[in-house]
A and B are shown apart, each in its own frame.
Chain A
Amino acid sequence: MNFWNDPINFVSVWLRSLFSGWGMADWLVNVLLAVMGIVVLIICAMILDIMLVWVERKVVARFQDRFGPNRVGPFGLIQPFADIIKLLIKEDITPIGADRIIFNLAPIFAMTAVLLLWAILPLGSVIYGVDLNVGVLYIIATGAIGTLSIIMAGWASNNKFALIGAFRTVAQMVSYEIPMLVAMLIPTILAGTMSVNGIVQAQNVWFVILSPIGVLIFIISAIAELGRSPFDLNEAESEIVAGFHIEYTGIKFGMFYASELLHTFTFGGFIATLFFGGWRGPFAETYPLLGVFYLFIKAMFFYWVIMWVKYSMPRIRIDHMLAFNWKFLTPLAFVLLIVTAVVDKVLAQTNYHATGLLLANIIVGWVTIEILRIHARSLRKKDEIPAQPSTQAAHH
């Protein structure tokens, strides 16, 4: 076996022989290798994160018909490093009355939550941290940690706006976890496993074709989970200044910022992995590094989609946000789950499996749209009823 077919294993075998050659204990070698792998992965992620800052700024500039960073280095490529330096040398303020420990722990947790996700993200056929057999749940679990970080931040800042932001975040995340989980169960059902890599393996047909609506639900709830516009209520600048990270400065703020960007990208990656065949592509089996490339492309694409949504949609009201989740998204997700499960069972081992699922999704979608239309019509009717000014006056 050569490097190109199985790079990680190749490297690990080499290192293992090296270390044991130095006369280390086995378990020590394992630990060392694990640590090295983690470190490498984290470093890659961080560097990518730094680049993401640039991407973000460029894209938003384009969306807003500007140039964006273009002074420092070619295309302003060096700009993010300048930003980081700036953040690092800023004064690190901890507000009086803040709960110091928690205040400092929060951004670390935020970053951790994102990095933990990378542990199960399969970059290539054989390139992944661990192949957890409960990967899908794991994603939610890390989301929980993200939530925790935000609420810690919000509470520890000893600041109203921060607290409100935290509350909002928690409400939002706890609610949107549900449709997200349900949406992730669809690929689980289709693939018959919860391990993310297994799901990728199973995607001879991209699951987006088998369950387009599932994809939509997942993307929407992912955006909410990330707390990006139109669901960026936790840092609604116009209402609660900056929400949970209002009191943060310097690198702590930077960590929140970075974690958000990386989180977004990661979720792009997961969208790609769960529904768009992950690292699969021509020759990805034989040359895993190609798979990494494919995944990067797809993830970038969805990162860009999320940005697109963010910069083209206004923020929605909190009650609307919750109502949208509880009254529309969750029921739809459950219906879709049930339909998918049934159809999948019925049509298993037939040639109509894919088409049947697609049809089922189309029908579900159509019905949903019909229901929404009827509802909207009735609402409009209610509004059209003319209000008598006299009674109005009487009321006021």
Chain B
Amino acid sequence: MVPLSWYLTLSAALFNIGLFGVLARRNAVAILLGIELMLNAVNINLVAFWRYGDPTVITGQVFAIIVFAVAAAEVAVGLALIISVYRNRSTVIANDIDMLKW
């Protein structure tokens, strides 16, 4: 049987890979991809805790579902922003999108 530790480790690894993506990728879309990875890691954790805790208490899954909703919203808005930025500045390189300084 699989112990909880495996799941946690896996999710931690996935989370940090996503984190790396977020921090290191130049492309804004790629950054969003990283965020998706992190969210999935979180979901894995939630579901795992549900399953390894008391399965009759459904909270973990509910949280996971809400995370889905948040993820969907975040992607919709984020991509919309990126596209409109691309229209105006014709770039999606995060470091070139630095209008917001002083």
Asked whether the complex places CB atoms of A and B closer than 8 A, the reply is: no
Q: Which residues of A contact B (CB under 8 A)?
A: none
